[in-house]
């Protein structure tokens, strides 16, 4: 379902890109083996669902296109290798009518180190403190909240025939994986 207001205001290219992005979610949801293969192409491996730090648990935001936090990526944080899972939470405990703004204005992205018990909020890592993340997921999108969204945006670029992207190799890896899946 696409909101009528945004659909009516969108130019044809934006609309085609949005539809391709959403088609990826359908493809991914209905083909778990392909999804896992594609996630691995950008460095994400399956792991147990992580627990949110208690300090942000009540502000957890769940992405309906990627409702589970069960894929980790190996990066360096503070000079050591660690597996981390991206999480989303609200920057405020409640909507603030004085502050106003839309949903995305409250969205906070952080990374939780994989461990057996929920990490304290002090262990939440911000993107700027990680090295090796962007090198694996590429620079074709800023929508890096989950491997599902990173891949959906890249899939849309691939379907649109976009060639002028910073990380063309990501599109090529996806194309090859999709071609292999068709055989």
Q: What is the pLDDT along the chain (183 residues), one digit of tens a residue?
A: 666 777 777 789 999 999 999 999 999 999 999 999 999 999 999 999 998 989 999 999 999 999 999 999 999 998 999 999 999 999 999 888 888 888 888 899 999 999 766 655 568 999 999 999 999 999 999 999 999 999 999 999 999 999 999 999 999 999 999 998 776
Note the pTM of the prediction, 2 decimals.
Answer: 0.91
DSSP the chain: ---HHHHHHS-HHHHHHHHHHHHHHHHHHH-HHHHHHHHHHTTEEE-PPPPPPHHHHTTB--BTTB----EEEEEEETTEEEEEEEEEEESSSS--TTT---GGGTEEEEEEE--SSPPPGGG-B-GGGEESHHHHH-SS-S--SSHHHHHHHHHHHHHHT----TTHHHHHHHHHHHHHHH-
């Amino acid at each position: 379902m696409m909101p009528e207001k945004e659909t009516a205001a969108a130019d044809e290219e934006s609309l085609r890109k949005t539809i391709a992005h959403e088609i990826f979610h359908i493809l991914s949801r209905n083909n778990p083996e392909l999804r896992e293969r594609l996630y691995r192409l950008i460095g994400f491996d399956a792991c147990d669902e992580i627990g949110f730090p208690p300090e942000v648990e009540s502000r957890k935001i769940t992405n309906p296109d990627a409702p589970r936090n069960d894929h980790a990526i190996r990066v360096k944080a503070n000079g050591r290798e660690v597996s981390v899972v991206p999480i989303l939470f609200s920057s405020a405990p409640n909507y603030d009518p004085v502050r106003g703004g839309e949903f995305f204005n409250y969205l906070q992205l952080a990374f939780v180190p994989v461990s057996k018990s929920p990490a304290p909020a002090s262990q939440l890592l911000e993107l700027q403190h990680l090295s090796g993340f962007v090198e694996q997921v590429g620079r074709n999108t800023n929508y890096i909240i989950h491997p599902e969204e990173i891949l959906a945006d890249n899939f849309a670029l691939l379907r649109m025939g976009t060639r002028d992207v910073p990380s063309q190799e990501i599109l090529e890896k996806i194309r090859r994986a999709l071609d292999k899946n068709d055989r």
